[in-house]
Amino acid sequence: MKYFIGNWKMFGVPRSISILNKINLFISKDRNRKKYRVIVTPPYTLLETFSKKFKNKKIFIGSQNCYQKDHYSSNTAAISPYMIKKVGAKLTLIGHSDNRAEGDTDEIIKNKVIFALKNNLKIVFCIGENKKQKKNKQTLSVLKNQLTKVLEKKFKTNNLIVAYEPIWSIGTGKIPNQDELLITTLHIKKTLKNIFGKKTPPVIYGGSVDGGNVQKFKKIKEIDGFLIGGASKDSKKFIDIIKNYYR
């Protein structure tokens, strides 16, 4: 199973559902539809509307983040995994570089993972190195630390996806070359095997993915899918990524 996950970030109003309607129509007619799963994470304001609309459709709806406590609390503007689950969402991103930059520590991220799993939400756990770390050849050690400080063997791997998103690539149009991405992906999978044993979660790639470069990523069989930013906000661009992957 391959994953095509769209992260809308701060984008979308109710009428933006037309984008997903077009993607859903494409999936329903695509002969390759059983080979992949499409997930889209709109902002919190659209979670309930979109979750209800696509409850029995070809698109799964997820959240872009969640709070580090469960159920209800007195934290203004916070949204817990429990609340996300109750509006019908199936998944949440955790550990995205945007949230790490805003102060999410490994401890905070781990608490988010624990409570998301408690509420049976699937998690896309994001990891990645910045430009300075890459330049200093720290990529592999940074990724290993991000994984081992948060993930534990007791966590359910069937509810976990790991997304490698090099921070220097997000929104820049720059992507890792094939050799270094293969090495990095294998390193992530080896680290996950050391944590979980034989049954490890899928590993997907995110960072400037588009319809033009997706076939380059396709050559790396170890990549189990993609976390897609800007291109996911446009139905044609998102559909082109799926089409070109299976071309």
Q: Which two tokens stand for residue 12?
A: 């979308």
Q: Which parts of the chain sit beneath pLDDT 70?
A: none
| pLDDT of amino acid 51 | 98
220 burial level (CB within 10 Å; 0-12, 13-18, 19+): middle
Cα within 13 Å of Cα(163), Cβ side: 28
Domain ranges of the chain: 2-245
Looking at residue 144, its pLDDT comes to 98
Residues annotated catalytic, as ranges: 96, 165
In this structure, are residues 38 and 59 in contact, taking their beta carbons and an 8 Å threshold?
yes
CATH topology of domain 2-245: TIM Barrel (3.20.20)
Cβ-Cβ contacts under 8 Å for 143 (sequence gap 6 or more) = 127, 128, 129, 164, 184, 187, 188, 191
- % of residues, the chain, pLDDT over 70: 100
Q: pLDDT tens across 49-74, in order?
A: 999 999 989 999 999 999 999 999 99
Give the pair of three-digit tokens for residue 14: 């109710």
